[in-house]
Each structure stands twice: as structure tokens, then as C-alpha cells.
Structure 1
């Protein structure tokens, strides 16, 4: 009888131990944050996978939104895609998460997160512009790009179907977007390249101090950017009054050229 009781007691202890471990494994770290990342033009979620993995290894949750007409989306007609199409996609993702998020936008994605912050400011803990277009009220991406005389992208932009489709010379893709990347990174960018929906580039941002203006903002500069020059980045930040900035000595694609360095900055912002 004693042996039977001892066996039952041991079995109960083992079961409790394994059950406890299972629960702990499913509990997120106390300081865990949820990042929602919006990629830029001529890009897709693939470009952010290294940063996603690094942030998740630190206990963060990361959701990368695939914008309409990008990545694996081959069904959405470019002439139906507007800036608010992107905005509504991101709003839908954030609504599904049931928590405040750190909203990050790269390049053209800066226009998108600006509109998202205007729509749902209470659901955004912080927003991060990663060498992104940063408009003031009623300003378009093209308004900003047309002031960037040093941009290699602006000089080479190809408009198709009256601007419904935007392209760049294919032999300049890596020089424009990731001149400091490894051969593997450059091949990755080339193999994933697609033409870009053009109409959002000419559509103005609508922002107010009460909504967009209430969200805590950060900007990450890139010094060797051939698409959005450091000069334009500085002018946009000054116009927006953003005081919290970081700087990386990279091309337009820090998430590919220096994902470790970018991840460290995002971790700092999260904390």
C-alpha cells in the first residue's frame, strides 16, 4: 500500500511539473511588445524576415503587413489601390491584435503609418519611421520626393499607364535600394522585385494634431540612402518636429544590410 501511495504521489508531482512548464512557455515576457511593420515600395514582407526573427528571439511579437499589390498578391489591380487601401489593411491588422502596437513604416510605408495613426491613434503606443517619407498635412509622397534632388530613385523613376504603374531600371535596382548589401542580399532583392502601384504616390496625407499629433514618434535615419537622401530625411523630421532620432550608416534597406543594428535600435525604442 505504501508503495502504491508513493507511486501515485510521484506521478502527481511529475504531472504538475510538466503542466507548469507548459504554461510558462506560453506566457510572453513581461516587457513584450507587439510590432506591426509596414514595408516600403517595390518591397514586401520578405525583406524584414531577419529583423522579425531577431525581435522575436528577444520576446517581442512581430507582424509584417503585406500591402496590396506587393509580395504574393497577384490579384489586386493596381488601378484600385490607393493610400487609404493600405491604411485600411493596417488598421484591420491592428484591430485584430487587441493590444497597443509599435507601428513601423519604411520608405513609402511612412505615408501609410501616418494615415493609420490619424485613424486609430489610441491603438498605437509608438510609431517609428525607418528612413521613411514623413508628410505634413495635405502633402503627397511625390511632393516630398520632388524636393530630393540627390535621390537616384527620383532621377530614374519610370511611369507606366499615366503613373498607375511605377518602375525603375532593373540594372539599377540594387544601387538604388541596397548598394551596401552582400551578393546574397542583392540577389534576394532582384528576385523579389515587382513594379509598384503608382496612385498612392500622388495622394495627400490627411493628419490632425488631435489624432496623429498625439502619438509618440521616432525616426531612424540612413546616411548612405540613394532613394531618400539624408538631407530630405532631416528636412522632413524638422518639419514634423520629431526629436527622438537614431542614425544608421546604411543604404535604403537597413533591414537587409544591417539587420542586427536596426533590431537593436527597435529594441531600445520598445523599452
Structure 2
């Protein structure tokens, strides 16, 4: 990769269960090419000191990103990248700080929008991991209430997330993944109000991973059809961990 004469500022937002650590390879490539790169740990993720049970609202989860966006100078435009569930986080930032984002990149991810209900997307995504293989949920509010947290297990990571990735990346993930709070649908509905005026003013690019076992192709197609981005790119032979 050639050195860029006008370095860009990329802000990379990880998916559920992961942290800033998941970007370590791409960060090395981008910085060696002269770009500025910021990686963030969302609430209860990576090395963020809070635990999942302290992150009971979606606003708590995305607060590190929102605080970072608020700290950017008004004339500082970034390229905002969200991996999978990170698409929800960057969508919230797009609605709140559209003037600070030159383009938003949805990497193999969830893309809510004004014309597709974020709660529906969230519910479908949650149902795709709950009860699968060795994924574990907790019931802090009692067994008769909905589960409160979930964490993906090694078997699920190996077959649905990292099945085409180097075994070293799988080993790293099995060591570092953390549980995430299962936010109530009404909380998502309250926090994820996206408008054409704000969210819709930001240019969007979707990057598709054809061998993504964690996201049904029909689901991805629906999100693109209901909320058409400016561009769709594909990385051949890539799994969920693009």
C-alpha cells in the first residue's frame, strides 16, 4: 500500500463480544500507509472497565463512541467504520454528528435506517446467536424473564465467525471475547431513531462478506433493499471476521 499524501482519519468500531483488539491487522496496514486510525472499546467491551451488567442501556454501550465524536473539532471529518453490530453504533453517531462524518462504512454488518425498523434488525440479529451451539446466556432477573447477557462460545466462533480466518485469530478471539447485555427491544426503539435529514445525509458504503455464516444472506439483502447505500463492495472468500 502506498503512502497517502493526504492522510485520512478512520474510526473503527468493533462488533458485539469483541473490542478494539479485533482491528489489530488493519490498523497496522492503515498506519503504515500514512492514515490516522482510532479504535474504540464500546461499553463493557475490550479493556473497557465496565461489566456487561453495568451496560443495561444501548446508550451506555455506545457512550465511548459518542463521547469521542463530541470531542472532534467541527471541521474534522472522519471515515466511520462499523463491523456487524458496530453498524448500530455508527448509525447512532451518524444521526447525532452527520457533519463530522465523510462516509460511513458498514462492514459485513447490521444497517438500520429510516425505512427499516432498527428493533426488527436487532431482534433478528439476537435470535441468530441465542441458543446456538455453545453460546451462553444468563438470567440475572430470574428464569421466567428474558435472558440478560450472552457470550459466544468457542464452537460458535469457529464455525460461524472465524471459519475462514487464520487459527491464530480464532485463538485470540476465544481468549478475549466478552459478554454483551441483551438490550430490551423498547430500549433499542427509543435510542435508534434515525432520520433522512441527519442519518440520511451521510454517504454510506456496505462491504459484503459472501461467506458470512453469522448473517443470513436474505437478511443482508433486505437491509440493502430497504435502505439502499451509495455503494456495495464485496470481499470474496471472507467470513464474518472480514
Taking structure 2 as the reference length, what is the TM-score of the superposition? 0.83
Q: Which has the larger radius of gyration?
A: 1
Match of 1:19 in 2: none
Change (3 A) 1:214 1:163: same
**Deviation for aligned residue 1:176:** 1.7
Point out 4+ residue stretches in structure 1 off by more than 6 angstroms: none
User: Which protein has the bigger helix share?
Assistant: 1
Report the 3-state secondary structure (helix = DSSP H, G, I; strand = E; otherwise coil) of the residue aligned with 2:47.
coil
Return the alpha-carbon distance in structure 2 between the equivalents of residues 184 and 116 of structure 1. 32
Match of 1:167 in 2: 151
Residues 160 and 167 of structure 1 are in contact (CA less than 8 Å); yes or no, is this contact kept in structure 2? no
**Deviation for aligned residue 1:29:** 5.4
Match of 1:214 in 2: 201
- Stretches of structure 2 lacking an aligned partner (at least 5 in a row): 140-145
Return the alpha-carbon distance in structure 2 between the equivalents of residues 173 and 114 of structure 1. 25
How many residues are matched? Answer: 223
Return the alpha-carbon distance in structure 1 between the equivalents of residues 53 and 113 of structure 2. 26
Report the 3-state secondary structure (helix = DSSP H, G, I; strand = E; otherwise coil) of the residue aligned with 2:105.
strand
- Stretches of structure 1 lacking an aligned partner (at least 5 in a row): 1-27, 255-271
Return the alpha-carbon distance in structure 2 between the equivalents of residues 154 and 250 of structure 1. 23
Q: 2:55 aligns with which of 74, 80, 85?
A: 80
- How much is the aligned-residue C-alpha RMSD, in angstroms? 2.2
Is 2:88 the partner of 1:101? no
Q: 2:239 aligns with which of 251, 261, 266?
A: 251
**Deviation for aligned residue 1:81:** 3.7
Q: 2:96 aligns with which of 91, 102, 119?
A: 119
Match of 2:118 in 1: 139
Change (3 A) 1:200 1:223: farther
Taking structure 1 as the reference length, what is the TM-score of the superposition? 0.75
**Deviation for aligned residue 1:62:** 0.5
CA deviation profile, 1:157-177 (whole Å, cap 9, x unmatched): 543223321123433222121
Is 2:15 the partner of 1:35? no
Report the 3-state secondary structure (helix = DSSP H, G, I; strand = E; otherwise coil) of the residue aligned with 2:169.
helix
